[in-house]
Copies of this chain bind each other. A is one copy, B any other.
């Protein structure tokens, strides 16, 4: 059996698994990325983890390559470049360094773009030529597929939709100091910031008047909404409205057949998805109405990032 190693390097966790041609992750392991601030020690850990996974396989197994997803990864350079949430600074030539330890065909890509390829090969975007995948975690990640191909742009930094300015001249700053950047509104972090905004704007009682910003978690906001907390409900509505307007605008760009959503914020379910659907249909230009779907990712939640990473290699065998 042919298998691909899929590695997702996240700010919190590193996930390593083995993925078959159908996108099934047959085995995987997680560990904390921050336990290995030294790059060489980290890569040794990656290598030993892969060896452990391989040791469990029958000898007929053939590892045909290794795909890596990571924040701020440049596929052209084979490196992670200035990733704010990782301990290794500057340009980290992961592919070069890991290839000496794991001598198989190896590729790296921005994690959201890897997930986009994963959605295309193994998820709900199978057979679609034009779609956009959006990951809503701590930040806002995205990948654009047009004419059946991932849009990478002139030097690999296309699809950075989270940094598109949605409130010209006078909006919240993102981590990249983009004023009005979408990510500052539509992400788990954006939702928390919107709780502050709603507490400031309205006088409604809310459990959040007793919780400091740094103690606030996305799940608390969903929980509060379930209990009818007005501030939580207003925060979801506002987030959905901003998001819907952005999706309506994105539609005019590449006219995707569908947007696929993935990541923590999606777990808030109807509180985000119902108003999103409503506002999206309001904002959409007449010519697009009824033609653009908002769907959930079809990748298995726990191993989505591993499948995405592995799809970089399966993409070459498609």
Contact residues of A with B, CB < 8 Å?
129-130, 144, 146-147, 149, 151-161, 163-168, 176, 178, 242, 245, 248-250, 252-257, 283, 285-288, 291-292
Contact = CB atoms under 8 A, between A and B. Distances in A.
Contact of A164 (B149, B157, B252, B291): B252
A165 B249 contact: yes
A147 B154 contact: no
A155 B255 contact: yes
Contacts of A158: 130, 146, 252-255
Contact of A165 (B147, B248, B255): B248
A315 to B, nearest CB: 14
Contacts of A287: 157, 160
A252 B146 contact: no
A242 B165 CA distance: 12
Contact of A130 (B153, B161, B168, B248): B153
16 contacts: A146-B147, A146-B149, A146-B153, A146-B254, A152-B255, A153-B254, A153-B255, A153-B256, A157-B255, A157-B288, A161-B253, A164-B252, A165-B245, A166-B168, A176-B285, A250-B253
Given A130-B158, A154-B292, A287-B157, A144 B253 contact: yes
A197 to B, nearest CB: 15
Contacts of A160: 252-253, 255, 285, 287
A153 B151 CA distance: 13
Given A158-B252, A159-B255, A167-B168, 15 more contacts: A144-B146, A144-B253, A146-B158, A147-B147, A147-B149, A147-B151, A153-B255, A154-B257, A154-B291, A157-B255, A160-B287, A161-B252, A164-B249, A165-B248, A250-B253
A152 B254 CA distance: 7
Given A155-B291, A168-B245, A291-B155, A285 B163 contact: yes
